[in-house]
Amino acid sequence: MSLAQTWDSIKERELFVMGAVLVVFAVFPYLLTDFFVMNMVVESLESAGMEGIAGLLDNMRGWDELASLILIWGIFAMGYDLLLGYTGLLSFGHAAFWGVGAYSAGYFSAHVSSSPILIVVVGTVVAVLTAWLLGYLSLRRGGIYFTILTLVFAQMMFYLASSPLSFITNGENGFTNMKVGELFGTYDLGSEFIVLGDFIGGWLYVFVAIIGVICVGIAYRILNSPYGLVFHAIHENEQRAEFVGLNVGRYKLMSFVISGFFAGVAGSLFAIHGSYVPLESLYWTTSGEVVIMSILGGTGSLFGPIFGAGVYLYIENVVVSLPVIGDFWHLILGVVFVITIAFFPSGVWGAITKIRSLVRRSGGDR
């Protein structure tokens, strides 16, 4: 067996994938906050007298908060891609599950229990039930009607939250009564992690990252099972899948519910992360954001959307502080988004994979 083949067989193993994810998630905050290469560059620029550029690059360090936010949106986008990239259904209503998850997490934390784990469980369960209901209703139509129906139902949730239910959601001001307690009753999420605190950051990140790894594991399992293969089959040719004898409607609904599950997990984590649920989290532009992230990163791959979420949030938070181009970050993202759809349907992640396989082929080790 050649080296490349051995490598291929290793990297297909679930244990390896999960281990790699764990490692990447563990070093990830370090890359954003205190990456030594960046430190060296900044220092050498300063000593060379180029304070201007050094200052700009200095801006790119110290983003402690961003790491957990990227993972949270990454979970959302990964789940969303299960629907869009694998099953081929374009939903413009996923803000509903994200928002409902966040609101129920918030309400639960304020009135029942402040245990972070329970908050996430409750937010997720409510989001899943909502997804089941809305999915059942929306999937009665296909194509653009499905997209518009998801949009209609999600907007209905937004307007429900904005005024008739404002006694629960606090209307325009967003839900502010969040109470986030200690993890396992001992570890305050705001405090520094016991081991390697400088490296990994606070308990909040650890909490989010562990749930993130679990989510990636679940998604990996689903997609690499015969069950996930059916999603792919539906995407390729719905009619043929039907003829083979698969209950396409049922699989589509399950795909919708599973993606709602991830949206719910991410939504409740988002509520915990900010101790706050803005009303906008239910507005349809939130759905738009997760669409942009998934497409940018690359649909139809497990890690593409997480990557896309990272790129999106990095630009939103870091690039926005740069002079001149900072004001246009959303515009730039829009342009990149349109170019991606028009010319690179597989997204950035897909483009990287393509380049890699090209390089490999020219290397001749296959």
Partner 1 sequence: MSLAADIASVLLNSLQTGAIYVLLAVGLSIILGTLKFVNFAHGALYLIGAYAGILIAGEMSLSNGKLQEWGMSTIGLDLGYAAALILVPILVFVIGLLMERFVARPFYDRPDTDQILVTFGLAVIVQELFRAMFGGNSQNFSQPKWASGAVNLPVVGNFPEWRLWVIGITALLVILVIGLIEYTDFGLIVRAGTLDSEMVRLLGVRLDRQYLIVFGIGAALAGVAGVVGGPLELVNPNVGTGILVPAFITVVIGGVGSTRGAIVGGLLLGFVESTLIALPSLTIGSFTLNFAPWSQVGMYAVAAVVLLVRPQGLFGKEVEA
Binding residues for partner 1 (CB under 8 A) = 84, 88, 90, 92, 137, 140-145, 147-149, 151-153, 155-156, 159-160, 162-164, 166, 284-285, 288, 291-292, 295, 327-328, 330-331, 333-335, 337-338, 341-342, 345
- For 173-188, b/e burial (b = at least 16 CB within 10 A) is ebbeebebbebeeebe
Shortest reach from residue 152's CB to partner 1, in Å: 5
Any idea what the Cα angle at residue 80 is, between residues 103 and 100, rounded to 5°? 10
Shortest reach from residue 245's CB to partner 1, in Å: 20
Look at residues 80, 84, 76, 147 and name the one whose alpha carbon lies nearest to residue 341. 84
Q: For residues 330 and 354, which CB has a smaller minimum distance to partner 1 in the complex?
A: 330
Q: How far apart are CA 307 and CA 28, in angstroms?
A: 12
Q: For residues 80 and 153, which CB has a smaller minimum distance to partner 1 in the complex?
A: 153
Q: For residues 105 and 149, which CB has a smaller minimum distance to partner 1 in the complex?
A: 149
Shortest reach from residue 321's CB to partner 1, in Å: 17
* Both structure tokens of 260: 């709602």
Q: For residues 151 and 258, which CB has a smaller minimum distance to partner 1 in the complex?
A: 151
Q: How far apart are CA 194 and CA 253, in angstroms?
A: 42
DSSP-derived letter for residue 61 is S
Shortest reach from residue 289's CB to partner 1, in Å: 10
Residue given tokens 């709602």 in the structure block: 260
Q: How far apart are CA 339 and CA 89, in angstroms?
A: 21
Q: How far apart are CA 202 and CA 99, in angstroms?
A: 25
Q: How far apart are CA 207 and CA 271, in angstroms?
A: 13
Q: For residues 127 and 291, which CB has a smaller minimum distance to partner 1 in the complex?
A: 291
Shortest reach from residue 108's CB to partner 1, in Å: 23
Q: For residues 199 and 243, which CB has a smaller minimum distance to partner 1 in the complex?
A: 243
Shortest reach from residue 251's CB to partner 1, in Å: 16
Shortest reach from residue 226's CB to partner 1, in Å: 26
Shortest reach from residue 59's CB to partner 1, in Å: 21
Shortest reach from residue 106's CB to partner 1, in Å: 20
Q: Are 67 and 73 in contact (CB under 8 A)?
A: no
Q: For residues 104 and 155, which CB has a smaller minimum distance to partner 1 in the complex?
A: 155
Q: For residues 182 and 238, which CB has a smaller minimum distance to partner 1 in the complex?
A: 238
Q: How far apart are CA 250 and CA 256, in angstroms?
A: 10
Alpha helices for the chain (secondary structure H)? 3-11, 14-33, 36-47, 51-58, 64-81, 95-111, 116-138, 143-162, 166-169, 197-200, 203-223, 226-236, 238-244, 248-274, 284-297, 304-317, 329-343, 347-363
For 11, 16, 319, 326, the CA distances from 50, given in Å and listed in that order, are: 43, 43, 20, 21
Q: For residues 147 and 317, which CB has a smaller minimum distance to partner 1 in the complex?
A: 147
* Both structure tokens of 119: 């908050």
**Bridge partners, residue 192, by sequence:** 202
Computed over its alpha carbons, how large is the radius of gyration of the chain? 21
